[in-house]
């Protein structure tokens, strides 16, 4: 017996999609397998590592703990949507490059989305606040020092861009 499929409308990085998925399709797998957006990474699949974090209506959430059918109609932002409006690296991505905030890069999409969402509400964080903000994201390479520096640098880049605009 094949599983019933649910026609589901999603808006990802501003682009509308319609997918036909079984109810148990995790959002992370829907993004990767059904939509080909492989920037979202799947690490632990039980909500601990944070690699699969995406923005749902602007708020960071674990896409391995959401069903695609359950976020129908929501505005989703993945790491692919964190680039600069004209193409190229967005401010958070640029900051991670500037500060050497990644090594193997597996966890980075989750950091970029988490930090992008968080900085909108905390534009001028302290180092302690930046460290706390990434508490739900695991990185096994860097030791986090450069990631904390990246968060602060991203805040600086965003403030500069807004000041210039």
Partner 1 sequence: MKPPAFAYHRPATVPEALAVLADVGHDGKVLAGGQSLVPLLNMRLAAPAHLVDVNWLAELDEVAVDNRQVRVGAIARHARVEHDRAAAEAVPLLAQAIADIAHDTVRNRGTVVGSLVHADPAAELPAVLVLLEGTMEVASAGGGRRRVPAAEFFLGALESAVRPGELALAAEFPRPPANSGSAWVEVARRHGDYAVCGVGVLVQLDAALRVERARAACISVGPVPVTVELTDALAGRPHDAADWAAAGRLAAAAVDPEDDIHATAAYRRHLTGVLTARAASAAAAHAVSRREGAA
Q: Are 158 and 91 in contact (CB under 8 A)?
A: yes
| 22 part of the interface to partner 1, by CB under 8 A | yes
| 47 part of the interface to partner 1, by CB under 8 A | yes
Q: How far is 160 from 133, CA to CA, in rounded Å?
A: 21
Output the CA–CA distances (angstroms, integers) from residue 110 to 37, 80, 157, in the order listed: 14, 11, 19
Closer by beta carbon to partner 1, 133 or else 147:
133
Angle 145-149-150 (CA atoms, 0-180°, nearest 5)? 115
| 147 part of the interface to partner 1, by CB under 8 A | no
Closer by beta carbon to partner 1, 132 or else 159:
132
Closer by beta carbon to partner 1, 5 or else 15:
5
Q: How far is 158 from 21, CA to CA, in rounded Å?
A: 37
Shortest reach from residue 3's CB to partner 1, in Å? 5
Q: Which residues bind partner 1 (CB under 8 A)?
A: 3-4, 6, 22-24, 26, 29, 45-47, 50, 53, 56, 59-62, 64-67, 69-70, 114, 118, 132-133, 135-136
């Amino acid at each position: 017996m094949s599983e019933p499929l649910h026609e589901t409308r999603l808006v990802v990085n501003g682009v509308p999609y319609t997918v036909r998925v079984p109810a148990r399709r995790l959002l992370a797998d829907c993004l990767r397998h059904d939509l080909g957006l492989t920037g979202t990474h799947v690490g632990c699949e039980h909500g601990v590592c944070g690699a699969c974090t995406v923005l749902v209506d602007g708020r960071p959430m674990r896409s391995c703990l959401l069903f695609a059918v359950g976020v129908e109609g929501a505005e989703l932002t993945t790491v692919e949507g964190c680039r600069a409006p004209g193409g190229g690296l967005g401010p958070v991505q640029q900051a991670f490059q500037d500060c050497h905030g990644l090594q193997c890069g597996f966890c980075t999409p989750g950091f970029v989305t988490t930090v992008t969402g968080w900085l909108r509400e905390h534009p001028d964080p302290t180092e302690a606040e930046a460290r706390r903000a990434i508490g739900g994201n695991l990185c096994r390479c860097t030791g986090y020092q450069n990631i904390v520096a990246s968060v602060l640098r991203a805040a600086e880049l965003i403030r500069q861009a807004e000041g210039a605009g």
